[in-house]
């Protein structure tokens, strides 16, 4: 099985965001991973729904929107409207995870849940039928270019077992390079987010291919 690659535009040139998204599309990105940070849930600030809307016309690839914001429910409709296809919330950032996931699906979008490195996979036990994607953070969220936390490989394998035959994607985010990509794929992940690894040189297609 070949994995999907979701380049994170956190590492893109923000002054040329539309062009960067078109380049990722041409380079074979499966999803466009969009990191939304609020300076509160995570110690960094990026952009909101208007920016997502502005880049929507530059590609037809699915927008994989990773919300690192708290509270999250009040802003979910704005991201749905801006053109998100998958909307992922952090389990740690919502008091009512099942409700947040239901809200996303009620807007016709795929619902994702993300777990920080210290969060056990057991929080997923009762929402498996309410979720389309599980995002395992292999770094503490907030910044690109951090080192992969090896303990998360075991978590991926445990989640793979938990989901059984359900059509749930397992995505990994943080510190992905050719070496850690293989560890994650072998453990059961099928979508890999990569920021630095894709944007390190202008050869986005080659950089994406190297991760598969």
- Residues forming the site for Zn ion (CB under 5 A): 35, 66, 173
Catalytic residue among 35, 38, 64, 132: 35
Residue located via tokens 């704005």 = 78
CA distance 134 to 44: 22
- Nearest-approach distance from CB 176 to ligand DX5, in angstroms: 5
Extract the tokens encoding 135. Answer: 């995002």
Contact between 10 and ligand DX5 by CB under 6 A: the answer reads: yes
One of 21, 101, 149, 194 touching ligand DX5 (CB under 6 A): 194
Cis peptide before 71 (omega within 30 of 0): yes
Contact between 71 and ligand DX5 by CB under 6 A: the answer reads: no
Q: Which does 144 bind (CB under 5 to 8 A by kind): Zn ion, ligand DX5, none?
A: ligand DX5
- Nearest-approach distance from CB 137 to ligand DX5, in angstroms: 7
Strands (E), the chain: 4-7, 32-37, 63-68, 86-90, 110-115, 133-137, 169-173, 191-194
**173 among known catalytic residues:** yes
Residues in the chain: 212
Q: Which stretch binds ligand DX5 (CB under 6 A): 55-63, 163-171, 172-180, 181-189?
A: 172-180
Catalytic residue among 30, 38, 64, 173: 173
**Alpha-carbon distances of 75 from 78, 93, 196, 207, rounded to whole Å:** 5, 13, 28, 33
Binding site for ligand DX5 (CB under 6 A): 8, 10-11, 33, 35, 66, 139, 141-142, 144-146, 173-176, 193-197
Catalytic residues: 35, 173
């Amino acid at each position: 099985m070949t994995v999907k690659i979701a380049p994170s535009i956190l590492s893109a040139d923000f002054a040329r965001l539309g062009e960067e998204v078109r380049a990722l599309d041409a380079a074979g990105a499966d999803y466009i991973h969009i990191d939304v940070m609020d300076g509160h849930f995570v110690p960094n600030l990026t952009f909101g729904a208007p920016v997502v809307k502005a880049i929507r016309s530059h590609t037809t690839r699915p927008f994989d929107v990773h919300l690192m914001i708290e509270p999250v429910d009040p802003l979910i409709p704005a991201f749905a409207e801006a053109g998100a296809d998958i909307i992922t919330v952090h389990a740690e950032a919502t008091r009512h995870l099942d409700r947040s996931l239901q809200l996303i699906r009620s807007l016709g979008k795929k619902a994702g849940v993300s777990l920080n490195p210290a969060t056990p996979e057991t929080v997923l036990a009762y929402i498996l039928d309410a979720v389309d994607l599980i995002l395992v953070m292999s770094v503490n969220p907030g910044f690109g270019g951090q080192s992969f936390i090896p303990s998360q490989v075991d978590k991926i394998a445990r989640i793979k077992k938990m989901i059984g035959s359900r059509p749930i994607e397992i995505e990994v985010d943080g510190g992905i390079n050719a070496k850690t990509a293989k560890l994650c794929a072998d453990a059961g992940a099928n979508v890999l987010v990569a920021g630095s690894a894709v944007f390190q040189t202008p050869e986005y297609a080659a950089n994406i291919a190297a991760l598969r």
